[in-house]
Structure 1
Amino acid sequence: MSAASAALPGKLRFRDELADFWRFLFQSDLRRLPGRRSRSGLRNDWLPDVPLRRLLAWAAVLWGLNFFALGPIAVTAAGAGGAVHRIDPSAIPWLTAILWAPLIEEMLFRYGLRRPRQALWVCPAVLPPLLWGVHGWTVAWAAAVVLLACLPLRREKVARVRWRMDWRRQYLMHFGRVYHLSSLAFAVVHLNNFMLADTAYWMLPLLVLPQWATGLVLGWIRVRRGIGAAVALHSIFNAGPMLLIVLVLGLGS
């Protein structure tokens, strides 16, 4: 057990998780946080023991950071560069924002952080649901991808033996870069939400600062708590602005 792992208490307070997240940004690793109640890798990955209030606390941090700091920077950059948001916030389907996007985006950008061998086929496999949106066949496709991704967990010990140690060692050495690149890729994809017009290239990163920061937190919770926790936090995070939009529209009507 590493010294960093040993430093984590058995029952984490929220400030302990904040401190671990801050360390993770500079010293990324694949260890889990304590508190797992099951020996099943499948259960721990998809049904982690994370209280709802803890997920809400992380969502509140992201809402505050994006609303008071990163969001205003993105809005200012969009106005200065002539970029226009192509999505009407009042017309975003709830199903897409709260259920579909969190599942598909987490499978694409963060599922493979702990399972890089599976990422070689999972990432290409979730592109059709991402590109075509919610339809009967894409829902069935996404469900099949999730089910197939779960099947190898029952052969996890065999897979570890077959995974050459030098390959695993290289991945662990470069995991920090993989983690940060996944967050950058998550942010870059969200540039598609804008009609960029003549926006200068150097301003593009400013437009997606909120998504970049959100991706960093989601990547940390995926590694520490599991893919289920990442999907749940992503869903809660998206639900906040949706509820705010509904309230504003209701008051304005």
Structure 2
Amino acid sequence: MPEIRLPRAVAVPARGRPGFREEFADFLAFVRRPRLGPRLPRRWRDAEAGVARHGSQEWLGGLGGPHLLGWVLVLWGVNLLVLGPLAASVATASGAERRLDALHLSWFHVVLWAPVIEEMVFRYGLRRPAPALWLLPVLVSAMLMRPSLAAGASVALACGAIAAVLAWRGHRWPRTWLRRYARAFPVVFHLATLAFAFLHLANFRLGQGDWLLLPLLVLPQWASGLVLGWMRVRFGIGASIALHACFNAGPMALLWTLQNHAPGLLDG
């Protein structure tokens, strides 16, 4: 399915794949002024050839670009040392309690289901708004389902059927619509990020405290959403799903380790 591209040619640096510092600088510039292009080169050979391969980069092809481990460590550090403690203190002050017991969440739910469904709902359409509008009813319905292999298979089949029909009909927006979307993209990006963050308020039983403090409860999700949105636009939906999954896997691995090797720490 076609994606939105800027009308002007995209220049790719000839000196190779960006380093992590360059990616971080690009992320900061992107957050200040979100824009649809250019993609960042995903492999040394692409950068050296001076080309940006858009089609193959959307899914698995995009995994060769970003420094995923570096971004995972940054997100873990920021959330563990800064935003997580702040959100926890706000939860205590406002009387908010978590609805879900993290000890009883499955790996399938946290590391596969949530990253795929949430990235498709909130970030797939950032570069592909035309097909995303047709896929959203199925994807939003999936958010209300109980995670399971059967549910995942049904969602995948439904989305695949819709995508096949759209591809067969050559569905795409007129160029004038695409230009308008490109102009509105900064607003769309930040609204999608805020929606992703505020969705996670559903994880809490809200108390009777100051409701003005509630946005602070989801600061970790807001900050993570900015990075995930940047990665989706720059490297593809596959890269943002992979980062989301790796980020979620960290706390799950920590809880599994404590459950099996130091259960007393959890009881305390």
TM-score (norm 1): 0.89
- How big is the shift at 1:50? 3.0
Q: CA RMSD in A?
A: 2.6
Q: How do residues 96-111 of structure 1 correspond to structure 2 at under 5 angstroms?
A: 96-111=109-124
Query: Partner amino acid for 1:85?
Result: R
Q: Deviations over 1:163-219 (max 9, x none)?
A: 222211111011011111111000111000000021322111000000011111111
**What percentage of aligned pairs have identical amino acids?**
45
Instruction: In structure 2, list runs of 5 or more residues that go unmatched.
Output: 1-6, 47-51
Query: Partner amino acid for 2:18?
Result: L
Aligned to 2:19: 13
Q: How do residues 88-167 of structure 1 correspond to structure 2 at under 5 angstroms?
A: 88-135=101-148, 137-148=150-161, 150-151=163-164, 159=171, 163-167=173-177
Structure 1 pair 4/74, CA: closer, same or farther in 2 (3 Å)? farther
Distance 2:54 2:9 in 1: 25
Count matched residues.
249
Taking CA–CA contacts closer than 8 Å with sequence separation of 6 or more, which of the two structures ends up with the larger relative contact order?
1
Query: Partner amino acid for 1:182?
Result: A
Distance 2:22 2:53 in 1: 24
Aligned to 1:236: 246
- How big is the shift at 1:3? 10
TM-score (norm 2): 0.84
Distance 1:118 1:187 in 2: 23
- How big is the shift at 1:2? 6.9
1:189 to 199, 202, 209: 199
Query: Partner amino acid for 2:240?
Result: A
Instruction: In structure 1, list runs of 5 or more residues that go unmatched.
Output: none
Distance 1:226 1:20 in 2: 15
Q: How do residues 193-204 of structure 1 correspond to structure 2 at under 5 angstroms?
A: 193-204=203-214
The answer to whether the 8 A contact 1:126-1:145 is kept is no
